Amino acid sequence: FDVQQSEFKREDSEEIMSEFQDLWCENESDTYASNSVYTSYETPADKIQESQYIKLESVWSVVDGEPEEPSLKLLKGVVLSNGSSVYTVEKVLGSGAFGEVAKCTKVGTNEVVAIKVLPKDLKSDAEDGEKALKYLYTLDPDKTNLIRFYESFTFRGSFCFVFEVLDMSLYDLLGQLKWYPPSVAEVRPITQQMFVALSALKSIGVSHTDIKSDNIMLVDHSSQPFRAKLIDFRLACKTANDYENMRVMVKLLGQPDKRLLDAGYKTERFFTLEHSGSAPFWTLKSLDEFEWTTGETVKKSSPVFDSISSLDDLLDMSSKMDDPEEVEDLKAFLDLLKRMLSWNPADRIQPDDALNHPFIIMEHLSKNRNSSYVTAAHEIMAGFQTKDPDSFTAGDADGSVSVIKSTSSEDKDAVSNQSGFQHIEKGLGSFELYRRRRRKNTKRGRRQN
């Protein structure tokens, strides 16, 4: 008897519950059956009125002779509670192997939050994530560009994490832009904010381990362009496309040194140790070899990676750039990218050093203010940092993370300062004019040819 995501009136549910009890519930076991029904949660403190409808997800299964609670399924109207706080699901925002995320309202205060629910089979991930998230209480989420974490609790065997609601992921934004590549000047503010976040995490001994466009969220892209926060602390699961990620990295960055591969505990998943030469050496498995040894199906990545053989090939884009300042900016960006992606962790650039990299502080763009590109680049970054990188610190001696100071003495926090975002909007307007001019010049060149 299995009911999935169905709605029944109260009298119908009572009849069904009676059937469950007649079938296999006796004495204390009847509580298991009643727990399989999602009703409005009722506590003396909140006196929440029961809703007219209840939702059923599934009945309990029996494992080794004992009833086992089903994984929590988020549906509109489902109520989650830890005893002291009660939340009502308003909308499911996303789901996948990692679990589900829902927009919820806190009963009693009407506060809107996002709740991430991990199924019970991800207990280890949930426990690791909870440990990391509790460290975040020592940091200011707005000053450090980290998502605000409120609390965590277990409900019906599933693990619930309560966060602030943000706008959209960087991945979603790129999708809305139909994957039109942003300029490196538009990438810079996001990069700078993520370095601040990483520096903050490092100050409390936490590593994120899963930074990607899905885990970089825009706070409110309409009113605060490029204002971003880092989310998902050790809660993401391994993707099914990890071979393709490894293949692209080896192609663009070269193969890791043998000593690194010898020490890697997952090396044999992606590489094969060859003994045909004078000394053993590692080679990357072919796609067929990987699928055969793992039983996984690999999804091919974007064809853009087949058109380049290294990061230096991205400099070919400079032939389409009219402004030499934009070319220099691209070179600075690629230099930072290479230092970020070094296979050897000891050679990788640290967050504090990255915050002082030429690409972030724009020292290579400070000489020519007559360039429309340079003007727009500085306008965009005006809302995130001053010209002097020493005006803020990412990690203080006491382990806290201080705010990025604005150039104005009246502004104590440029990240949340509205005038800062007016600078950004002005910069975006300058970039739009710059792009139009570049497209016009490109069309003119084609006609002349």
Higher pLDDT, 376 or 31: 376
Comparing CA positions, the residue from 253, 435, 269, 420 lying closest to residue 341 is: 253
What pLDDT, on the 0 to 100 scale, is given for residue 71?
63
Q: What is the pLDDT of residue 441?
A: 52
- Higher-confidence residue of 73 and 295: namely 295
Decide if pLDDT at 17 tops 50: no
pLDDT at 19: 40
Locate the domains of the chain by residue range: 6-163, 188-216+305-448, 242-300
Q: Is the pLDDT of residue 231 over 80?
A: yes
User: Containing H/E element for 3?
Assistant: none
440 assigned binding-site residue: no
CB 220 within 8 A of CB 228: no
Q: Which CATH superfamily is domain 6-163 in?
A: Phosphorylase Kinase; domain 1 (3.30.200.20)
Please write the tens of the pLDDT for every residue from 180-214: 888 899 999 999 999 999 999 888 887 787 888 98
pTM here? 0.67
Task: Give pLDDT, residue 440.
Answer: 54
Region 249-277 average pLDDT: 92
Task: Report, as residue numbers or ranges, the catalytic residues.
Answer: 210
Task: pLDDT band for 22, please (50, 70, 90 cuts).
Answer: very low
The packing angle between helices 184-203 and 372-381, to 10°, is 30
pLDDT tens per residue, range 124-160: 777 777 777 777 888 899 899 999 999 989 888 888 9
pLDDT bracket for residue 408 (50, 70, 90): very low
Averaged pLDDT of the chain: 73
Helices within 231-350 (DSSP H only) = 242-253, 258-263, 267-270, 287-294, 324-340
Q: How confident is the model at residue 436 (pLDDT cuts 50, 70, 90)?
A: low
